[in-house]
Structure 1
């Protein structure tokens, strides 16, 4: 039985006093058994939290009690296990980091396209469909016809746009562009950036891939593969059911069954993506950590995340 409600949320809105929101929000989450990560910045709020349904309702009610966040929209899914190990409320310069000044997603974002209308848009051969997620996310699933910018960070996206806007590039001549991402937040900022570069016909999937997978029937879907998510579920499929990927505990990249069958895969230590990127000393530490995980598993205890919670408790009770 799924016992933990997961809520993914974001909103671009002017929050000049965002720093003062941190402590009350963290306190309210702790009181309601809610864990995850929330980012606060002058441009808004972003994050994913999980907990008992009444706890999530309490946090959403707390947020929407601020008139500026009254219209906050969230997406829900369920998990049998708590997908997070602690609660973090971080103060940031941006709630999704692009590194380009004066890109105001709250007022400059492109045209929203609802999931039920998305297929018709991306089926148009005159529309350039762009996946604005990072390369490792795209690698496990994307929409048919979608272009992969092959970025390792969202900060690389503006450079890709500049390169593809040159003669011979995919964006030369400023065609109609449809963009999508996991939950919609990167799309709002990317379409706002595109508009600063003179693109008038830019669209983005409202609610992101998650809302599409939640609402569009599989038989009508243009989606192939699975959708990476930033918690212990690793990936989800249609209906937001858990997917088939696992994390590499050394590099945090998603691993398929084929990856785990590789000679380079050593649970908790290395995988085909990172086997040659860590020193022998690092691998030894990872192996010791994995040993402790396995011992905890044999005792039916949780290991990952416990160390962080013990350190926190030590600080609070010196």
Structure 2
């Protein structure tokens, strides 16, 4: 049986004077190490998820840690039985996680980190407001007990949601605890709340992934699966791959019951997006799915079918 594939989710907020200058050497290092995935570079730092064998991942992480301000790179490891990415991409972005608030700087101000072992006590405190900072389709497959779902389709919508609902959200609460998949969105969301004048702000160190890795299931306050931005789609306690598939049309997770719906067609539509797409679009998706099926029969990867890295 082949060794499991190492998956590394990483980020670091740091000042890159010229991120474009870093792109080609970093891509070359990943190619040389046989690593695939997506890395985002911006003036505010680096964010990404990569996969490969243990030696290859180690080599790439050493290269990233040698970049300015990246010695303390935040990395969360997990394993996959099959390759979660089809190719390697290194992209230049305005932000490594898009919030659209140019004055927010997690390097200057951020919430207090809470270790996974201490998280249950914090979110069980009735004085604590617990907010899930992820997108609506992520929250739909799992979240923490008692967490508020902003129902935002994009992280960019989070600031407006908080400002519009601030008075109601904070009524009777002394503390705010926030969480996300790997921790990066909380770096910005907690920084944002502090800029909005909220003092007692906390966030889960290492995100949901670290919690699911370290907290025993019998002690857990997590319900459901955690959406991840790769071909595993979701993970559970112990970071075991979940049962969800992926709709290639809208990139939302698809449950077993979704697959039984008349609105589900592999690679073409799911109940969540059927009414959002035209028949012309679905015809294009069917052709893409046909090409993917042919590539699978030939034993090759159809790169057009892969999942891009999202906000976290």
TM over 0.5: yes
Matched, 1:135 2:133: no
Taking only aligned residues, the RMSD between alpha carbons, in angstroms, comes to: 1.6
Instruction: Tell me: CA distance 1:296–1:91, structure 2 relative to 1, closer, same or farther (3 Å).
Output: closer
2:173 & 2:120 partners in 1: Cα distance? 21
TM-superposed deviation, 1:279:
1.8
Deviation by residue 1:200-226 (Cα, 9 ceiling, x = unmatched): 000000000000000000000000000
What is the number of equivalent residue pairs in this alignment? 305
- Aligned pairs for 1:84-95 (under 5 A) are 84-95=85-96
The whole-number CA distance in structure 2 between the counterparts of 1:43 and 1:188 is 12
Give the alignment's TM-score, normalised by structure 2. 0.94
C-alpha contact (below 8 Å) 2:14/2:68 kept by paired residues: no
1:306–1:122: structure 2 CA closer, same or farther, 3 Å change rule? closer
Contact (CA 8 Å) 2:136, 2:153: kept in 1 or not? yes
Structure 1 runs of 4+ aligned residues shifted over 6 Å read none
Report the CA distance between 1:3 and its aligned residue. 3.0
The C-alpha deviation readout for 1:57-111, integer Å capped at 9, x for no partner, is 0000111123511111211111111111111111111111111121111121100
Q: CA deviation at 1:289?
A: 2.4
Residue 306 of structure 1 and its aligned partner are, at CA, apart by: 6.6
Aligned to 1:204: 203
Partner Cα distance (2:38, 2:305) in 1: 18
In structure 2, runs of 5+ residues without a counterpart are 307-312
Q: 1:135 touches 1:151 (CA, 8 Å); kept in 2?
A: yes
Q: CA deviation at 1:250?
A: 1.3
Q: In structure 2, do the counterparts of structure 1 residues 111 and 257 end up closer, same or farther at CA, with 3 Å as the change threshold? A: same
In 1: Cα distance, 2:18 partner to 2:301 partner: 37
**What is the distance in 1 between the residues matched to 2:20 and 2:295?**
38
Change (3 A) 1:284 1:67: closer
Q: Is the 8 A contact 2:127 2:172 kept in 1?
A: no
Which of structures 1 and 2 has the bigger CA Rg? 1
Cα distance, 1:19 vs structure 2 = 2.1
